[in-house]
Amino acid sequence: MEGGLKPMDAEQLREYGHKMVDFIADYYKNIENFPVLSQVQPGYLRKLLPETAPAHSETLQDVLEDIDEQDANACNLDPDAFDPDVETKILPGVTHWQSPDYFAYFPSNSSVAGFLGEMLSAGINMVGFSWITSPAATELEMIVLDWLAKVLKLPDEFLSTGQGGGVIQGTASEAVLVVILAARDKVLRRFGKDAISKLVVYCSDQTHSSLQKACQIGGIYPENFRVLKADPSRDYALSPDTLSEAVSHDMATGLIPFFFCATIGTTSSTAVDPLLELGKIAKVKPGESNSIWFHVDAAYAGSACICPEYRGYMNGVEEADSFNMNAHKWFLTNFDCSALWVKDRSALIQSLSTNPEYLKNKASQENLVVDYKDWQIPLGRRFRSLKLWMVLRLYGLEKLQAYIRNHIELAKLFEELVAQDKRFEIVTPRKFSLVCFRLLPPPSNEDYANKLNHDLLDSVNSTGKLFISHTLLSDRYILRFAIGAPLTEARHIVGAWKVLQDEAATLLSKC
């Protein structure tokens, strides 16, 4: 129909696609000019946008100008001419995770290779819930995750050629949920459904909160969620004795220990739990009737373990039943891409599989293929393996290792800068590219330390020049400086440290 809607027209895609790529390229060209942490107030956007959707179509230029007028009007904008005060609607409300001055939480990497894979995935736009819906999507995922498993030197049991295999989840939160459901149902098949009130989960107090949410979703009784105190003298790793005592106590009272999560690189401080010793506790002992599902969360630090000098942190992973790392954190694979490996894929399938008539097909019915719908929570799934495939192929292992090592060297630089300033202290030893530190309070005023560091965090982030986050360790308010953005260089580290020093001096002058 003349003038009608053509939602997928090849030539329009070519025209608009080129404009969008130019727009995004200019965004990265000018990303340092934006405040890293968004400075807007809650509800800002509702005041700027219409109350109703447009009745008539608008141009792509109109839309791009609402995102960032400067980038929309000049594909090759001179950075010196950039005016951050020009009014736009979307970018002021964006916290720029890819900024070289982003040091909060953990990184969420993007890259040209990851972007191209994301673009191709969006372009093909298939929904690969079972093999038959797009065989390449399933088979490429199996192959690429086998590649990555071999890079990490995971045991052969985690490869798709055996009884286990890998699957891409959206996040580590989804990964831990599906394995806790698999572990739960495996135990309930043995002890009966009524035993759910006796099932016990273990973790340290440094474990990510996603495990608690997984327990809530999985019906684990809150009183059976054991949060064990990590040992500050072990740099906040969990002591095997602590786990052993908790498990023995619960078994003696008739409870059923069934799931334990250890961490390589905790969120607060990148502590590393001793996998080998902890894993042995989770295994069946003579006279005991049940083993504990042992899950290893390496969402952040798993990427570093592609380097031989950091692979030692994974020693003991052979004891694990499942292992997870986020390729979208520090492995240059655009969000979302969380790799999960299991030794026994049948446990996932028995817990998560459904087989309605409208999904039946010959390949699945004859058990000739993997259907990833049975390894995850949702039915639908994207062609995410394309991103990881492109990252591994376009960069190669050597360049990826160099990328990780560079960030760790930058973290060493920041650590040295902090150590040279007697007003600050390093709180825990640095293992990867996170530095935990704090501003020391005036003498004889330790009670003021937490407020002082909270105020420093706020003042630094309010400058817009960098973004850092915090945690609590032994009830102390600690500042976290996490290096891992793709564009970060030594000059950004030095500049960020200067801001921290200046803001600290202002605060201390008021004490």
Task: Report in angstroms the alpha-carbon separations of 133 from 95, 137, 359.
Answer: 37, 9, 10
In sequence order, which ranges of 59-171 are alpha helices (DSSP H)?
Answer: 60-73, 112-124, 135-151
8 Å CB contact between 316 and 275: yes
**Does 439 share its domain with 495?**
yes
Residue-range definition of the domain harbouring residue 483 = 404-509
Last residue of a domain, one of 316, 347, 366: 366
**Does 238 share its domain with 183?**
yes
Last residue of a domain, one of 96, 116, 145: 96
Task: State the Cα–Cα distance between residues 451 and 394, nearest whole angstrom.
Answer: 47
CATH number at residue 286: 3.40.640.10
What pLDDT does 76 receive?
42
**Does 318 share its domain with 428?**
no
Supply 271's token pair: 């502590």
- pLDDT by position in tens, the chain (length 511): 456 778 888 999 999 999 999 999 999 999 999 999 999 899 999 998 899 999 988 889 989 988 976 655 544 444 455 455 555 889 999 999 999 999 999 999 999 999 999 999 999 999 999 989 999 999 999 999 999 999 999 999 999 999 999 999 999 999 999 999 999 999 999 999 999 999 999 999 999 999 999 999 999 999 999 999 999 999 999 999 999 999 999 999 999 999 999 999 999 999 999 999 999 998 865 445 568 999 999 999 999 999 999 999 999 999 999 999 999 999 999 999 999 999 999 999 999 999 999 999 998 898 899 999 999 999 999 999 999 999 999 999 999 999 999 999 999 999 999 999 999 999 999 999 999 999 999 887 778 999 999 999 999 999 999 999 999 999 999 999 999 999 999 999 999 999 999 999 999 988 7
Quick check: is 33 in a domain? yes
**Does 359 share its domain with 420?**
no
Q: Terminus-to-terminus CA distance in the chain, angstroms?
A: 73
CATH number at residue 424: 3.90.1150.10
Supply 200's token pair: 């016990």
pLDDT digits over 111-156, tens only? 999 999 999 999 999 999 998 999 999 999 999 999 999 999 999 9
Give the closest residue to 330 by CA, choosing from 306, 301, 354, 370. Answer: 301
What pLDDT does 300 receive?
97
* Strands in 414-468 per DSSP E: 424-426, 434-439
Quick check: is 36 in a domain? yes
What pLDDT does 7 receive?
86
**Does 70 share its domain with 167?**
no
CATH number at residue 27: 1.20.1340.10
Quick check: is 143 in a domain? no
268 alpha carbon, distance to own chain's centre: 13
**Does 361 share its domain with 485?**
no
What pLDDT does 447 receive?
81
Q: Give the number of residues written for the chain.
A: 511
What pLDDT does 488 receive?
97
Task: Report in angstroms the alpha-carbon separations of 374 from 121, 145, 183, 385, 460.
Answer: 21, 17, 15, 17, 46
**Does 92 share its domain with 220?**
no
Number of domains within the chain: 3
**Does 71 share its domain with 180?**
no
**Does 344 share its domain with 422?**
no
**Does 335 share its domain with 416?**
no
Quick check: is 113 in a domain? no
Quick check: is 381 in a domain? no
What pLDDT does 353 receive?
94
C-alpha angle with apex 480: 479 to 481, nearest 5 degrees? 120
Quick check: is 215 in a domain? yes
Quick check: is 196 in a domain? yes
C-alpha angle with apex 385: 384 to 387, nearest 5 degrees? 75
Quick check: is 132 in a domain? no
Supply 171's token pair: 């996040």
**Does 331 share its domain with 450?**
no
Give the closest residue to 454 by CA, choosing from 473, 471, 477. Answer: 477
Last residue of a domain, one of 366, 385, 415: 366
Task: Report in angstroms the alpha-carbon separations of 348 from 135, 326, 373, 389.
Answer: 21, 19, 10, 24
Task: State the Cα–Cα distance between residues 221 and 10, nearest whole angstrom.
Answer: 54
β-bridge mates for residue 247, sequence order: none
**Does 409 share its domain with 496?**
yes
Phi, psi of 449 (to 5 degrees): -60, -45
